[in-house]
C-alpha cells in the first residue's frame, strides 16, 4: 500500500513541472536543475524511555525548478539519506521567492521557500513503520560561479502533520532540519534582440550645410566641406572659430576659446607655476620670495632672512641650552631645565666663598630665576639644604651651613616666595658633593641646594 501512496505523491509532485496548460500563452521564463547534498537532522521521542534523540543522515538529491512569476519558482525535490544501516527518503513540492530581483542582482540572490514533503525513514523499531506528511520553511541564497552555473546553500526546517501506514506507538517524530548545498544550472530567460533600426535615406541633410548626413561628421551642426561637415576650429581647442575669441591660440570653452589666466597676473595657466596666485613673470608666475624660505615677500615678516612659515618667515628663536624652552621664555637660558618649569631644573645649587654666607652675584641670578618660577606656579614647593667644606670644626660648619640656608631663604622671601612653601635643613660638611682634598672639590661643597617639589 505504501508503494502506491509514494508513487501517487511523486507523480503529483513532478507533474506540474513537466506538464503545461494548453491555454497558457507562454512557458515559464527560467528553469533550473540542481545537484544537492548535505546533512539531515531528524528528531524523535521514545515514549517508553521518555527520551528525545536526534538521528543525522548524510543526504544527496536533485531539484528541478521552473519560474511561474517574476522571482517566484515552483520546485520539486528528491532526497535520499543514509547513516550506517539506516536510511531515509523524502520528496517535496514547494515555492521559492527571491528577495532581490534576479534581473538586476545576478551575482548574489537570497531567497525564502515554503514546501510540503513526504518523509520516510527506518529509524524507529519497525522498519519504514510510517510515512510522514510534513510542511517546511526555509531560506538560502544562490551565488553565481560562471555563466549559468550557480552555487546554492539553504536550510529547511520541517514540521510533521500526520502519518500514513503502520504507526510505531513507542516512538514519535519531531521536527527535522535539512542543511543543504549544491550546484545549480539555469537556462531560459534570454534577452530579446534589439529591434533593427531602419536605414536612413542617403539624401537627408539634417543641418542644411549641403553635405548629406551619411558623409557629414557633424550631421546636426552646420559646417564646411573642408572640415567634413563640421564647423572650423583652427586652433583645435574644441571651440569653433565662430565662437572663439582667440581662434589661433588653443584655449578653453569657459574662457570663450582663450587660454585661462586664473589669477589675472598676465601669465596663462599653462605657463604659470602658481596659476591660482598672482605672481611675477621673473618667478614663472609665482609671487616673489627673496630669501627662498617658501614664504612670499608680501607675507614674510623677515623677507631678507630665511625663516619658517609658522613664524611668518622669520628664523626660529634661539634655545642656547637646548632644553626646549626658547631663550626669551627661559628663566635660566644657559642651564638646561624642564619645559614644565620654564627652563629651570628640578635640582639647583648655588655656591659661596670660603667662610662666607652672603650670596654672590652669580648666586643671585639663580635665586632670582627660582623666585620668578615660584610666582608663576603657586603649587610648587622648595627644599633648601646647606653644606660646607671640611676646613673648620663640625660645630663651626653647622652654624655656617645654617647661615647659608637662612640667607638664601631670606632672599627668596624678599622676592615674593612665601616662607610656608619652603623647608630648610643644614648638614655641615657631612654630605659632600666632591672630595675635600682639592680646591675645586672644596668649592663644590660650599653650597646651598634648591630642590623643587610639589
Domain limit, last residue, from 168, 188, 208: 188
Q: The CATH number of the domain where 140 resides is what?
A: 2.40.160.20
pTM of the full structure: 0.39
pLDDT reported for residue 61: 94
| 252 class by beta-carbon count within 10 Å (0-12 exposed, 13-18 middle, 19+ buried) | middle
User: How far, in Å, CA of 40 to CA of 106, rounded?
Assistant: 29
Residue 276 domain-assigned? no
**Residue 338: DSSP 8-state:** B
Residue 82 domain-assigned? yes
Residue 70 domain-assigned? yes
Residue 398 domain-assigned? yes
User: Phi-psi region for residue 375, left (φ > 0), alpha (ψ -120 to 50) or beta?
Assistant: alpha
| 142 class by beta-carbon count within 10 Å (0-12 exposed, 13-18 middle, 19+ buried) | buried
Whether residue 219 contacts residue 225, with contact meaning beta carbons closer than 8 Å, is answered with no
pLDDT reported for residue 317: 85
Query: Which cell goes with 448?
Result: 646651598
Place of cell 539506516: 86
Query: Count of CB atoms within 10 A of residue 204's CB?
Result: 11
pLDDT reported for residue 188: 81
pLDDT 10s digits, 308-345: 887 788 887 888 988 889 988 889 998 998 999 999 99
Query: Count of CB atoms within 10 A of residue 114's CB?
Result: 13
Report the DSSP pairing between strands 422-426 and 381-386: parallel
pLDDT reported for residue 113: 94
pLDDT reported for residue 308: 82
Instruction: Specify the long-range contacts of residues 86-90, CB closer than 8 Å, at least 24 apart.
Output: 86/55, 86/57, 86/121, 86/122, 86/123, 87/57, 87/121, 87/122, 88/40, 88/42, 88/57, 88/59, 88/119, 88/120, 88/121, 88/122, 88/123, 89/119, 89/120, 89/121, 90/117, 90/118, 90/119, 90/120
Q: The CATH number of the domain where 386 resides is what?
A: 3.30.1330.60
Which residues in the chain come in under a pLDDT of 70?
1-28, 45-51, 53, 123-130, 164-173, 190-202
Total structural domains in the chain? 2
Angle subtended by helix axes 394-414 and 361-376, to nearest 10:
50
Residue 365 domain-assigned? yes
Residue 226 domain-assigned? no
pLDDT reported for residue 420: 96
Whether residue 88 contacts residue 129, with contact meaning beta carbons closer than 8 Å, is answered with no
Domain limit, last residue, from 146, 170, 188: 188
pLDDT reported for residue 397: 96
Find the helix or strand (DSSP H, E) in which 136 lies. strand 131-146
Residue 385 domain-assigned? yes
Domain limit, last residue, from 152, 172, 188: 188
Query: Count of CB atoms within 10 A of residue 189's CB?
Result: 13
Smallest Cα–Cα separation from 171: which of 347, 89, 51, 59?
51
Residues in the chain: 454
Whether residue 433 contacts residue 376, with contact meaning beta carbons closer than 8 Å, is answered with no
Residue 149 domain-assigned? yes
Q: Which residues contact 443 (CB under 8 A, 6 or more apart)?
A: 351, 389
Query: Which cell goes with 283?
Result: 618667478
pLDDT reported for residue 344: 94
Residue 114's domain comprises 2-17+27-188
Amino acid at each position: 500500500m505504501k508503494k502506491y501512496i509514494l508513487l501517487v505523491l511523486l507523480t503529483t509532485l513532478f507533474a506540474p513541472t513537466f506538464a503545461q496548460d494548453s491555454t497558457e500563452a507562454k512557458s515559464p521564463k527560467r528553469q533550473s536543475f540542481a545537484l544537492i547534498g548535505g546533512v539531515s537532522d531528524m528528531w524523535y521521542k521514545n515514549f517508553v524511555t521518555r527520551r528525545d534523540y536526534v538521528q543525522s543522515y548524510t543526504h544527496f538529491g536533485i531539484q528541478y525548478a521552473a519560474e511561474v512569476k517574476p522571482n517566484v519558482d515552483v520546485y520539486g525535490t528528491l532526497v535520499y539519506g543514509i547513516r550506517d544501516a539506516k536510511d531515509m527518503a523524502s520528496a517535496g513540492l514547494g515555492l521559492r521567492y527571491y528577495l532581490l530581483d534576479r534581473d538586476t542582482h545576478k551575482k548574489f540572490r537570497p531567497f525564502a521557500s515554503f514546501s510540503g514533503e513526504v518523509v520516510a525513514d527506518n529509524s524507529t523499531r519497525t522498519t519504514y513503520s510510517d510515512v510522514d506528511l510534513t510542511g517546511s520553511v526555509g531560506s538560502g541564497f544562490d551565488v553565481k560561479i560562471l555563466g549559468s552555473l550557480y552555487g546554492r546553500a539553504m536550510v529547511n526546517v520541517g514540521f510533521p502533520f500526520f502519518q500514513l501506514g503502520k504507526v510505531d506507538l513507542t516512538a514519535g517524530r519531531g521536527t527535522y532540519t535539512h542543511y543543504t548545498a549544491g550546484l545549480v544550472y539555469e537556462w531560459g530567460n534570454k534577452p530579446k534582440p534589439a529591434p533593427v533600426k531602419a536605414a536612413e535615406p542617403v539624401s537627408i541633410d539634417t543641418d542644411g550645410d549641403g553635405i548629406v548626413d551619411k558623409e557629414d561628421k557633424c550631421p546636426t551642426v552646420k559646417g564646411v566641406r573642408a572640415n567634413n561637415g563640421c564647423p572650423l576650429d583652427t586652433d583645435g581647442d574644441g571651440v569653433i572659430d565662430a565662437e572663439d575669441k582667440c581662434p589661433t591660440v588653443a584655449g578653453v570653452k569657459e574662457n570663450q576659446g582663450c587660454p585661462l589666466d586664473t589669477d589675472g597676473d598676465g601669465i596663462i595657466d599653462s605657463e604659470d607655476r602658481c596659476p591660482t596666485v598672482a605672481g611675477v613673470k621673473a618667478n614663472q608666475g609665482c609671487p616673489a620670495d627673496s630669501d627662498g624660505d617658501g614664504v612670499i615677500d608680501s607675507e614674510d615678516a623677515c623677507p631678507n632672512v630665511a625663516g619658517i612659515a609658522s613664524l611668518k618667515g622669520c628664523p626660529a628663536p634661539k634655545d642656547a641650552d637646548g632644553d626646549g624652552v626658547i631663550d626669551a621664555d627661559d628663566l635660566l637660558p644657559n642651564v638646561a631645565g624642564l619645559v614644565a618649569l620654564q627652563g629651570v631644573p628640578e635640582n639647583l645649587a648655588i655656591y659661596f666663598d670660603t667662610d662666607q654666607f652672603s650670596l654672590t652675584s652669580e648666586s643671585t641670578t639663580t635665586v632670582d630665576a627660582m623666585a620668578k618660577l615660584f610666582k608663576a606656579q603657586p603649587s610648587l614647593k622648595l627644599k633648601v639644604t646647606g653644606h660646607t667644606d671640611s676646613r673648620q670644626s663640625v660645630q663651626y660648619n653647622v652654624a655656617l651651613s645654617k647661615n647659608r640656608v637662612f640667607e638664601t631663604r631670606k632672599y627668596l622671601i624678599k622676592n615674593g616666595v612665601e616662607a610656608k612653601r619652603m623647608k630648610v635643613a643644614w648638614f655641615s660638611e657631612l654630605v659632600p658633593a666632591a672630595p675635600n682634598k682639592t680646591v675645586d672639590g672644596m668649592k663644590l661643597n660650599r653650597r646651598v641646594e634648591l630642590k623643587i617639589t610639589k
